[in-house]
């Protein structure tokens, strides 16, 4: 058996996934926007942490540990915003200390430290487009004040063999864990 090189690193992200019926509603919107603007389809999520995984990191174990210590979270949506960064073309803002706590747990759970700057948001569209078009879309898709439940975390990897996040539609978000009520 060949020994795994523990120094080899791969990108990894940890997401917070909305619960039903919010999940299906966001999926439908992301799909409709992707179709209208010839953009990639992706799973609705809030990115909690982006880092690197070594062969010594057990992302499934980390997901289980964080999920077991976390209840489903109801968040109040903020403004729908936009900017020229691809992964923030059109997004809903969130601000909650529980998101920072989850970020810290995932950051601490990896062997290699990553200075990912948490800016909690749920993206609706990944597409380079003019600011005026983005602003129009932000005005059209308002969620401010809505209460949205999130009940699952996921470990996400780029497409197999890819060293980065460029192939959006091939991201692997299949490794998931439901948030559970604490068992005291």
List, for residues 14-57, the tens digit of each pLDDT value. 999 999 999 999 999 999 999 999 999 999 999 999 998 877 67
Domain spanning 9-178, CATH class: alpha beta
- Quickly state the pLDDT bin for 4 (edges 50, 70, 90): very low
Angstrom distance (rounded) from CA 114 to CA 42: 24
The residue assigned the tokens 């920072």 is: 100
Residue 7: predicted pLDDT = 54
Distances (CA, A) of 115 to 67, 71, 108, 146: 22, 26, 11, 30
Predicted model pTM: 0.90
The share of the chain scoring above pLDDT 90, in percent, equals 76
Q: What is the pLDDT of residue 110?
A: 87
Q: Which residues contact 108 (CB under 8 A, 6 or more apart)?
A: none
Pairwise CA distance, residues 146 & 12, whole Å: 30
Average pLDDT of the residues in 129-148: 98
């Amino acid at each position: 058996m060949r020994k795994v090189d523990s120094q080899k690193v791969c990108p990894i992200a940890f997401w917070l996934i909305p619960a039903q019926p919010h999940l299906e509603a966001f999926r439908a919107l992301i799909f409709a926007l992707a179709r209208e603007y010839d953009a990639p389809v992706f799973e609705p999520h809030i990115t909690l942490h982006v880092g690197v995984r070594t062969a010594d990191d057990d992302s499934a174990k980390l997901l289980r540990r964080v999920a077991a210590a976390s209840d489903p979270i109801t968040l109040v949506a903020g403004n729908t915003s936009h900017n020229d960064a691809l992964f923030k073309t059109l997004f809903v803002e969130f601000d909650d200390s529980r998101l920072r706590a989850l970020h810290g747990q995932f950051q601490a759970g990896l062997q290699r430290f990553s200075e990912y700057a948490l800016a909690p948001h749920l993206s609706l569209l990944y597409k380079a487009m003019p600011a005026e078009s983005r602003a129009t879309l932000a005005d059209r898709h308002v969620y401010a004040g809505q209460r949205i439940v999130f009940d699952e975390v996921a470990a996400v990897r780029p497409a197999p063999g890819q060293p980065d996040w460029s192939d959006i539609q091939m991201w692997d978000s299949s490794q998931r864990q439901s948030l559970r009520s604490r068992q005291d």
